[in-house]
Amino acid sequence: MRLTINGEGREYDGRPDVAGLVTGLGLDPRKVAVERNLEIVPRSLYPVTPLMDGDRIEIVHFIGGG
């Protein structure tokens, strides 16, 4: 399926849920937050939140800032 992740269009053929996407990208789910189509996905719901073709996903984390 086609996803837009952090503004980049990407083909995705992994496990079709948020948990699969996050771990498939090599990210530690405890260190990120995910938004799917402008809605926050609570961490506890990653395994049961399905991905659909055309979803717009944002994955963010904390970085240095003032």
Partner 1 sequence: MNAPLQAGTAAADVWTVAGRTFRSRLIVGTGKYKDYALNAAAAEAAGAEIVTVAVRRVNLSDSSQPMLVDYVKPDRFTYLPNTAGCFTGEDAIRTLRLAREAGGWSLVKLEVLSNTPHLYPDMIETLRALDLLVKDGFDVMVYCTDDVVMAKRVEEAGAAAIMPAAAPIGSGLGIQNRVNIRLIVEQAKVPVLVDAGVGTASDATIAMELGCDAVLMNTAIAGAKDPVLMASAMKHAVIAGREAYMAGRMPKRQYADPSSPLAGLI
> How many amino acids of this chain bind partner 1 (CB under 8 A)?
26
What 8-state DSSP symbol labels residue 33?
E
Binding mask 8-27 for partner 1 (x = CB under 8 A): x----------------xxx
Would you give the distance in Å from CA 19 to the centre of its chain? Answer: 8
Smallest separation (angstroms) from partner 1 to the CB of 29: 10
Strands 8-11 and 2-5, bridge-based pairing:
antiparallel
The two three-digit tokens of residue 4, written as one number: 């837009």
Which residues contact partner 1 (rule: CB under 8 A)?
5-8, 25-27, 31-35, 38, 40-43, 58-66
